[in-house]
Amino acid sequence: MTGETIRTVAPGGTIGMLGGGQLGRMTALAAAQLGYKTHVFSPDADSPCAQVSAAETVALYSDHEALAKFARSVDVVTLEWENIPVQTLAFLAKFVPVHPGPGVLAIAQDRLLEKDFVNRLGIATAPWEPARCPGQAATAYQTIGTPCVMKSARMGYDGKGQIKLTGDTAPVDAWKSIGGVDAIVEGFVDFALEVSVIVARGQDGEMVAYPAVENRHANHILDETIAPAAIAPETAAEAERVALRIADALRFVGVLAVEMFVTRNGGVLVNELAPRPHNSGHWTMDACASSQFEQLVRAVCGLPLGSVERVADAVMKNLIGDDVESWPDLLAEPGARLHLYGKAEARPGRKMGHVTRLKPLARAP
């Protein structure tokens, strides 16, 4: 217990959702199952979340008049995208509880602050150096060595805003190519696989963690998640311990995803944090007693957290771009659980839906 005040929102209340994407959509559906309404705030009309929500506000995140009106219409605010301006959350917090809060968001949306926060907890990451200017970019490159990767400190995702450095590109030119913005230079890690652990943490400090899952990428975008990851029990336990430690240190309320590398010797290195439901947790909708989306609703509304018991093993496959055209075959496939996001246009690299295939629980040897 944290000693913090628990502000319970009873069923029948309204959850304010910042961001209108598919994560908001699936959270709104989970909220409806528990008797809550969702009011989405997004700059985009007819968003995936708005299609299944009770109310929609279409306005910029800088529109204080619209934000104030939105805040007065909801009982609690959460988010489905970590790049909401911190100032937006701070403004809303004057009117209504906001989870996660602006302080958490400030850390999670800046790779430099994020890496420093994790390292200060005594948790390992890949070696890294800041590159906020041309001089730092050159120094960081010399310190880290090749191969390495330069990433913009903010806003990059799915491979955007980053460049691999192998010695062929001058670090200052690389820094300019990603926009000449605050950046980070990270050393490459010889890892066995990538995993993530999703933690739900309530207002009272109660925490539950889903098992570590393996994530496989294609073109820098998550392609498949395999639940649970085929790693040693002690490695899985360490990944869970690390994720829980970070969530608790942040005094997080909601759902936090911690992405990690598993090294060849079974160690874990934190890669990134996502302060919201995560693509690698979609399998929980079909294979767990409570999904990651239900956990978010429970946490922000001050309810007891749900069970993370796994009722099946699972493989989740993203449907990217034209992959969604296979929906008739997926609907006809026995055991396939199809989830489509209501997006009108299938573009290359755009997440249009996912399919989860369940398998019987593996028995321990």
Which residue, chain included where needed, has tokens 């958490």?
Answer: 104
Q: Is 293 annotated as a binding residue?
A: no
DSSP state, residue 188: -
36's CB contacts (< 8 A; 6+ apart) are: 9, 11, 12, 13, 14, 15, 297, 301
301, amino acid identity: C
Q: Is 187 annotated as a binding residue?
A: yes
CB 53, CB 38: distance < 8 Å: yes
220, amino acid identity: H
Q: Is 158 annotated as a binding residue?
A: yes
Q: Is 203 annotated as a binding residue?
A: no
Q: Is 65 annotated as a binding residue?
A: no
- Strands (E) across the chain are located at 14-18, 37-42, 55-58, 76-79, 128-131, 148-152, 162-165, 183-187, 191-201, 207-209, 213-218, 221-227, 254-263, 268-274, 313-320, 336-340, 351-359
- DSSP characters over 233-266: HHHHHHHHHHHHHHHHHTT--EEEEEEEEEETTS
Q: Is 189 annotated as a binding residue?
A: yes
Cα separation, 149 vs 128, in Å, equals 10
Q: Is 159 annotated as a binding residue?
A: yes
Task: Please give the span between the terminal C-alpha atoms of the chain, in angstroms, as a whole number.
Answer: 36
Among candidate residues 96, 79, 80, 121, the one with its CA nearest the CA of residue 250 = 121
Q: Cα-flanking dihedrals φ and ψ of residue 78, to 5°? A: -135, -175
Q: Is 345 annotated as a binding residue?
A: no
Q: Is 80 annotated as a binding residue?
A: no
* Cis preceding linkage at 102, omega within 30: no
103's CB contacts (< 8 A; 6+ apart) are: none
Q: Is 111 annotated as a binding residue?
A: yes
CB 106, CB 113: distance < 8 Å: yes
Q: Is 82 annotated as a binding residue?
A: no
**Binding site for ATP: what residues are annotated?**
111, 151, 156-162, 186-189, 194, 217, 271-272
**Binding site: what residues are annotated?**
111, 151, 156-162, 186-189, 194, 217, 271-272
